């Protein structure tokens, strides 16, 4: 006996951040880690980034989401949530939403990560040890 799934689920990643996003049908409050999304990601740029997938697919009043984000900083977490939301919207309606979101670049996983530290570099990735003058 299986339960009926009343949400769409997707994972978004960026740098060290991982976001598990659930997209629900209807009206509700968008939350990230139990806080309202506007409170967790404050600022005008963050609000625009979170609204971009919904604005592109014209579904801003049809769905709401909850996200659990771990790791990284706020910027990476924001990008991870946006990717998770875009992937959820594709599961809702693939033939309609995938071309629109793909054209805006919202489905591309940004694979740039922190460079590892190298041995003999004085504790940093690109720093060289200072050479003696004489």
Task: Report pTM.
Answer: 0.87
The Cα 73–Cα 79 span in angstroms is 10
Comparing C-alpha atoms, which of 49, 54, 68 is closest to residue 97?
54
Crossing angle of helices 44-57/94-103, nearest 10°? Answer: 140
User: How much is the pLDDT for 122?
Assistant: 82
- Can you name the residues that pair with 18 across neighbouring β-strands? 13, 70
Cβ atoms of 78 and 69 closer than 8 Å: no
- Does 95 score more than 70 pLDDT? yes
* pLDDT tens digits, 38-75: 999 999 999 999 999 999 999 888 999 999 999 999 99
The Cα 23–Cα 7 span in angstroms is 5
User: How much is the pLDDT for 1?
Assistant: 55
**What CATH number is given for 7-103 in this structure?**
3.30.230.10
Which segments within the chain are labelled E, that is strand? 7-14, 17-25, 31-32, 35-36, 63-70
């Amino acid at each position: 006996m299986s339960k009926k799934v009343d949400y769409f689920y997707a994972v978004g990643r960026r740098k060290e951040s991982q976001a598990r996003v659930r997209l629900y049908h209807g009206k509700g409050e968008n939350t990230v880690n139990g806080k309202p999304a506007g409170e967790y990601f404050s600022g005008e740029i963050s609000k625009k980034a979170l609204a971009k997938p919904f604005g592109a697919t014209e579904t801003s009043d049809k769905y709401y989401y909850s996200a659990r984000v771990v790791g990284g900083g706020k910027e990476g977490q924001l990008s991870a949530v946006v990717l998770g939301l875009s992937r959820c919207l594709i599961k809702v309606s693939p033939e309609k939403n995938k071309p629109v979101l793909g054209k805006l670049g919202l489905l591309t996983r940004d694979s740039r990560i922190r460079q590892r530290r190298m041995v003999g570099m004085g504790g940093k990735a690109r720093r060289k040890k200072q050479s003696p003058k004489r």
